[in-house]
């Protein structure tokens, strides 16, 4: 029998473990003789390392808490609905994305993603909403997203607002 807390941790990091296992297999194959197997091993090593790295970054978007609402990402559109609030924004119309931590700070369920469109529409999504981990994949469609700031926001111990992406403005010459 495995304790429930350990099972929860293993599930949380499962994608990271799969990437590391794939990278380890690639490294083992890479050390075998023959150029063909070295090539296959090198490709597996790179793919596994890339998968582990992306999975590690996605952890900032996962929350252990169950919060209000549901997030759906479909056809370049982000929807959030709850009993208190909700709305829809288009990824193509986004002007800025911010990560805001609450006044008490600290836990991931206290982080809110603020998505602002060009027309002024503003959607606030708690990180603890069901399906909020889909936001990582939605944000990856945008060039220049600052995932380091998003990770800092999740671990912040004070109230702060960090812009993790903003639309590049056209410069007038």
Same domain? 150 vs 69: yes
How confident is the model over 85-108, as pLDDT tens digits? 889 999 989 999 998 887 454 454
Same domain? 67 vs 56: no
Nearest to 12 by CA among 79, 78, 58, 76: 58
**C-alpha 165: how far from chain center:** 13
How confident is the model over 15-32, as pLDDT tens digits? 899 999 999 999 999 888
pTM above 0.85, yes or no: no
| Residue 152 in tokens | 């800092």
| Residue 7 in tokens | 């099972």
Is residue 40, in this structure, part of any structural domain at all?
yes
**Pair 48, 60: CB distance under 8 Å:** no
Q: Strands of 82-128 (E only): list them.
A: 86-90, 94-101, 111-117, 122-126
How confident is the model over 109-163, as pLDDT tens digits? 478 889 999 878 899 998 888 888 888 888 888 888 887 877 777 766 677 888 8
Same domain? 48 vs 82: no
How confident is the model over 22-63, as pLDDT tens digits? 999 999 998 887 899 999 999 999 999 999 988 887 776 666
Nearest to 67 by CA among 156, 138, 2, 127: 127
What Cα–Cα distance (Å) separates residue 91 from each residue in 13, 74, 123?
A: 28, 10, 12
Say what the pLDDT of residue 24 is: 94
Same domain? 119 vs 159: yes
Residue 6 has pLDDT above 60, yes or no: yes
Name residue, tokens 């208190």: 84
Same domain? 28 vs 69: no
Instruction: Give the range of the structural domain holding residue 39, as residue numbers without chain letter.
Output: 4-60
**Pair 25, 48: CB distance under 8 Å:** yes
């Amino acid at each position: 029998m495995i304790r429930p807390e350990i099972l929860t941790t293993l599930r949380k990091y499962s994608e990271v473990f799969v990437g590391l296992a794939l990278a380890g297999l690639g490294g083992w194959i890479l050390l075998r003789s023959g150029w063909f197997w070295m090539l296959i091993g090198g490709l597996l090593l790179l793919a596994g390392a890339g998968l582990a790295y992306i999975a590690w970054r996605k952890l900032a978007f996962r929350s252990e808490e169950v919060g209000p609402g549901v997030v759906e990402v479909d056809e370049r559109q982000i929807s959030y609905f709850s009993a208190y609030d909700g709305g829809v924004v288009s990824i193509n119309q986004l002007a800025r994305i911010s990560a805001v931590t609450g006044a008490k700070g600290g836990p991931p369920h206290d982080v809110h993603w603020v998505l602002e469109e060009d027309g002024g529409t503003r959607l606030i999504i708690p990180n603890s909403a069901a399906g909020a981990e889909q936001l990582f994949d939605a944000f990856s469609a945008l060039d220049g997203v600052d995932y380091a700031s998003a990770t800092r926001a999740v671990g912040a111990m004070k109230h702060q607002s960090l812009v993790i992406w903003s639309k590049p403005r056209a410069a007038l010459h």
